[in-house]
């Protein structure tokens, strides 16, 4: 009854603390959106200009222009694969394109010679002695030029093979490791950001605990028959709901922006709940060290930065293991529970592993949560809830 009363009260207060709730719930989706923008705008982009000087050739009364055919072939090969970030533009004035190269608006210029068609036809008939001279222009120190030129050269070779009917001497096959072949940079960052949305729970949870101290209503609670355990459990229950909503909103935003959800939804929810409890437990420690919401916003930033930048939440982070426990590497950042949650989500969502594969992460998460909770309850009770 008392527990239910605390839950109902905490729910009402959480709902009526509208701005702090919005802040917590919007942080995850906001970070997803920001990372999506960063990744999208920083994607490689190669502009190749082609000047076709080819005059064409009349073969068996049929006019042909291999230069034009090459441009169509190049454009077609780019369109066939969404992963090729090449943009082909047909140009006419060499001076303009050279200026564009200097201004970095174009990465490479390919000039097709006047006798390109003639050479290819003669090559096909086997009577060509000198190769057609394709000219490449660009900044040789620029990686974009090197990649553009390499790709243009490769495409040209393919075109010539197709045009002249010559056969490949070798065949190269490429196999991606794991699921890396179809996972983008954005996909890789999503598990960390999902956990980041739960880390933000630290603020609503700590404020929920500390508001009773700040309003001095903790005096009323101390004088009543409610126990510290009931009080903390009630607030925890409400904050878990906030945590689940936060992580689901973040996942929804990621899916809308192109993330593909893999793995078991049940395991995902399990990790979300465990991480929420862990963050609430940590919030209890902060609440024990502070007295007002303002203090929470100042003091809470230190663990927030640690959790954001050293657990892999904001970006992938690796550190050397101090030692190994039952084959599971123990690291310094492993003292922070989100590290294990992110590792578990990566295994489930990126590597498509099963529940059995993340047992070490779940055990680590539970052990750290228990340690946080015990420390938090002892400190909070001693500091704020003991009757003398």
Partner 1 sequence: MSVPTPETIIKITGLKKSFKDLAAVDNISFEVCKGEIFGLLGPNGAGKTTTINMICGLLPASDGKIDFQSRELKEIKSLIGYCPQENIYFPKLTCFEQLVFMGNLYDIPSDRCRERAMGLLEMLGLINKSKVCAKNLSGGMKRRLNIALALIHDPGILILDEPEAGLDPQSRVLVRNFIKSLSKEKTIILTSHNMDEVDRLADRVAIMDYGKIMLIDTPYNLKNSIGEGDVLEIEIIEESADKTAALISVLKHEYNIIQSGNLLIIKAIHLIDKIHGITSSIKEAGFTIKETKLRENTLEDVFIHLTGRMLRQ
Of 17 and 331, the one with the shorter C-beta distance to partner 1 is: 17
| Beta carbon of residue 225, minimum distance to partner 1 (angstroms, whole number) | 6
Which DSSP letter does residue 384 get? I
Could you tell me the two tokens for 365?
Answer: 């998460």
Name the residues that contact partner 1, by CB under 8 A.
1-2, 4-5, 8-9, 12-13, 16-17, 215-217, 219-226, 387-388
| Beta carbon of residue 231, minimum distance to partner 1 (angstroms, whole number) | 9
Of 16 and 318, the one with the shorter C-beta distance to partner 1 is: 16
Of 99 and 224, the one with the shorter C-beta distance to partner 1 is: 224
Contacts 24+ apart (CB under 8 A), 159-166: 159/69, 159/70, 159/73, 159/74, 160/120, 160/123, 162/73, 163/66, 163/69, 163/120, 163/124, 164/120, 164/123, 164/124, 165/124
| Beta carbon of residue 220, minimum distance to partner 1 (angstroms, whole number) | 6
| Beta carbon of residue 337, minimum distance to partner 1 (angstroms, whole number) | 30
Euclidean distance between CA atoms 88 and 259, whole angstroms:
29
| Beta carbon of residue 14, minimum distance to partner 1 (angstroms, whole number) | 9
Q: CA nearest 371: which of 331, 341, 337? A: 337
For residues 236 and 372, the answer to whether their CB atoms sit within 8 Å is no
Q: CA nearest 71: which of 112, 106, 120? A: 112
Of 110 and 232, the one with the shorter C-beta distance to partner 1 is: 232
Of 98 and 226, the one with the shorter C-beta distance to partner 1 is: 226
Of 172 and 387, the one with the shorter C-beta distance to partner 1 is: 387
| Beta carbon of residue 286, minimum distance to partner 1 (angstroms, whole number) | 21
For residues 203 and 24, the answer to whether their CB atoms sit within 8 Å is yes
Q: CA nearest 138: which of 128, 152, 148? A: 148
Could you tell me the two tokens for 341?
Answer: 């949650």
């Amino acid at each position: 009854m008392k527990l239910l009363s605390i839950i109902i009260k905490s729910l009402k207060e959480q709902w009526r603390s509208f701005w702090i709730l919005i802040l917590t719930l919007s942080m995850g989706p906001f970070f997803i959106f920001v990372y999506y923008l960063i990744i999208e705008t920083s994607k490689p982009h190669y502009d190749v200009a082609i000047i076709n000087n080819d005059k064409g050739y009349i073969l068996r009364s049929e006019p042909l222009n291999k230069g034009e055919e090459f441009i169509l072939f190049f454009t077609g090969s780019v369109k066939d694969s969404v992963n090729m970030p090449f943009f082909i533009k047909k140009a006419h004035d060499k001076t303009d394109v050279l200026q564009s190269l200097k201004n970095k608006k174009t990465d490479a210029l390919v000039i097709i010679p006047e006798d390109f068609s003639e050479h290819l036809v003669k090559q096909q008939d086997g009577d060509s002695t000198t190769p057609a001279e394709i000219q490449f222009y660009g900044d040789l120190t620029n990686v974009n030029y090197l990649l553009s030129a390499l790709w243009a050269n490769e495409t040209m070779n393919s075109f010539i093979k197709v045009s002249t009917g010559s056969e490949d001497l070798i065949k190269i096959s490429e196999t991606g490791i794991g699921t890396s072949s179809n996972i983008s940079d954005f996909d890789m960052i999503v598990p960390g950001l999902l956990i980041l949305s739960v880390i933000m729970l630290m603020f609503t949870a700590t404020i929920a605990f500390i508001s009773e101290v700040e309003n001095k209503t903790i005096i009323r609670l101390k004088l009543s028959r409610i126990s510290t355990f009931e009080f903390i459990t009630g607030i925890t229950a409400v904050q878990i709901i906030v945590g689940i909503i936060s992580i689901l909103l973040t996942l929804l935003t990621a899916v809308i922006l192109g993330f593909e959800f893999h793995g078991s939804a049940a395991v995902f929810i399990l990790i979300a709940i465990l991480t929420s409890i862990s963050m609430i437990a940590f919030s209890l420690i902060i609440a024990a060290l502070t007295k007002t919401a303002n203090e929470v916003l100042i003091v809470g930033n230190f663990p927030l930065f640690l959790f954001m930048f050293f657990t892999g939440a904001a970006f992938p982070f690796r550190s050397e293991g101090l030692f190994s426990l039952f084959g599971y590497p123990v690291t310094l950042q492993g003292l922070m529970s989100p590290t294990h949650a992110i590792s578990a989500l990566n295994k489930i969502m990126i590597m498509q592993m099963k529940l059995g594969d993340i047992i070490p992460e779940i055990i680590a998460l539970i052990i750290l949560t228990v340690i946080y909770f015990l420390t938090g309850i002892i400190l909070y009770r001693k500091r704020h809830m003991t009757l003398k």
